Amino acid sequence: MPQKIIAGNWKMHGTKASVVELVSALRTGLEDSSSLAQVIVFAPTVFIPLLEAEFGNSDIAYGAQTVSEYNEGAYTGEIAASMLKDFECRYVLVGHSERRALFVATNEKVAEKFVQAQKYDLTPILCVGETLKQREANETLAIIEKQLKAVIDKAGIAAFRNAVIAYEPVWAIGTGETASPEQAQGVHAAIRAFLAGFDADVATNVSLLYGGSVKPDNATGLFAMVDIDGALVGGASLDAEKFIGIVNVI
């Protein structure tokens, strides 16, 4: 049975003061959340030591927003999976649409990052999704299957026993637009069916998250869908009250 997960992606936001304030509010508001869902926060890398200090003894997990596909070396500005593991990170985002679009993360490069994360016992949350142009051209499933197949070819289907998939329609990220529960469910069901073509047990048990302008007031409809196991939350994760509200919904 898939694990319920609520993950917050802070993107490139925050100061030391605001992070300490947000973390404090989350610890207080989510102290009884472990029975509801796994809560994860993805912070800018410079704030990960703060998360280690604050969440080290809590049920709230934390991770990084990307990871290098290389072990180590002359890769200025990159962060190795071993470094993230050294700070007790448990999760890492791989293939977020902003990384794909702005930083030329091809399907093949995303697959390499996925493998590198698992090499150091980090759980990758693989982000997949289509642009508005691709949706209007009825290419949604073809695009997502290519994104998944690149990882399957590189890591094998069994790798998804220790991974999470987040469907994030690019047209709904940070726009205020949200796929309807039925639209999201349709894609999630298609993802599960595609994976089942390789391994039915993996398909049944992998957690599928929805990401795209998730808020407390639309979370109820989304989480009522049978194949939506949680959310990858963007802007609302920077507001403790809203983020806690989403956790409470699930």
Structure letter (DSSP) for residue 77: T
Q: 3-class SS at 64?
A: strand
Which member of 69, 98, 130, 168 is catalytic? 168
Main-chain phi, psi angles of 64, to 5 degrees: -105, 160
Looking at 69, 96, 98, 130, which residue is catalytic? 96
- Catalytic residue status for 188: no
What's the DSSP call for residue 88?
T
Phi then psi dihedrals of residue 132, to 5 deg: -60, -40
11 CA to centre of own chain: 12
Active-site residue, 52 included = no
User: Exposed/middle/buried for 70, CB within 10 Å: 0-12, 13-18, 19+?
Assistant: middle
User: Could you give the CA distance from residue 223 to residue 250 in angstroms, rounded to a whole number?
Assistant: 6
What are the residue numbers of the active site?
96, 168
